[in-house]
Structure 1
Amino acid sequence: MKRIDAIIRPSRLPFVREALEELGYGGMTVAEVKGHGKQRGITEQWRGREYKVEYLSKAWILIVVNDQDLQKVVNAIVENARTGEIGDGKIFISDVLDVIRVRTNERGPAAV
């Protein structure tokens, strides 16, 4: 099993969620986060004055998938989160050693 952590623009979250549901992955964890990448934030103007916004709002998606579905899920996230602009986000993939469903004590892929 693999864990996918995707940091994307909040405005793209509904499209990504819908694409993941179509693949059969409706269960996910989503959180509102703030951060920046190499661009170190953006400069905006308000009432004629410039100010720097260092931490931009992003949506963080955590989802655990079966190994055989990894590429399909990653492709769905990329295709639906991409705008072509700087700040579209990142995807991190890591191995999951085990999963335990607390309610039933099921383990492994059955618990996902």
Structure 2
Amino acid sequence: MKLITAIIREEKLDEVRQALIDAEIERISVSRVSGHGQQQEIEFHRGQKVIPNLIPRIQIMIACNDAFEDITVNAILKAAKSGKDGEVGDGKIFIQELKECIRIRTGERGGTAI
């Protein structure tokens, strides 16, 4: 099992969500987050270094069985990329091993609980 976390631009959420649905990935969690990466620019105001504001982003978390890892990642990549070659700030995808999944309602464990 895998836990796939994607940080994407806010305006790409609908496209990414639809791409996941088209790929038959329908169980997702979405949260609003803030941060910055390479797109940050160091600014100076009156000789003082100014820390840039955090940029609003969307975090999508998807628990999936191993067979769906590539399908999920490819759907996100295709939909979240800006333009043909992408742009700085398009986001990141993190893939982690998921030790266990437990459905609270039934106590079911493992891949069937996803």
TM-score (normalizing by structure 2): 0.85
Change in Cα spacing, 1:76 to 1:64, as seen in structure 2 (3 Å) is same
CA distance in 1, matches of 2:21, 2:80: 15
Partner SS for 1:25: coil
Who is 1:14 aligned against? 14
Structure 1 residue runs without a partner (length 5+): 44-50
Q: State percent identity of aligned pairs.
A: 43
2:109 alignment counterpart:
107
Determine the C-alpha separation between the residues in 1 that align with 2:112 and 2:54: 38
Classify the secondary structure of the residue corresponding to 1:86: coil
When the two chains are superposed, the root-mean-square deviation of aligned CA atoms in Å is 1.7
- 1:54 aligned partner: 53
Whether contact under 8 Å (1:41, 1:55) holds in the other structure is: no
The 3-state SS of whatever aligns with 1:24 is coil
Q: 1:39 to 1:65 in 2, by over 3 A?
A: same
* Matched residue, 1:46: none
Count, aligned residues: 105
Taking a change above 3 Å as real, the CA distance of residues 40 and 77 of structure 1, as seen in their structure-2 partners, is same
- Bigger fraction of residues in strand: 1
Structure 1 residue runs of 4 or more that deviate by more than 6 Å after TM superposition: none
Would the aligned equivalents of 2:28 and 2:62 in 1 still touch at CA under 8 Å? Answer: yes
Normalised to the residue count of structure 1, the TM-score between the two structures is 0.86
Secondary structure of the residue aligned to 1:87 is coil
Flag the 1:41–1:103 CA change in 2: closer, same or farther, 3 A: farther
Distance 2:15 2:51 in 1: 29
User: What amino acid maps onto 1:14 in structure 2?
Assistant: D
Q: Which runs of 5+ in 2 are unaligned?
A: 44-49
Please tell me whether the aligned partners of residues 8 and 90 of structure 2 are also in contact (alpha carbons under 8 angstroms).
yes
Whether the 8 Å CA contact 1:15–1:81 is kept in 2: the answer is yes
Say which SS state the counterpart of residue 87 (structure 2) adopts: coil
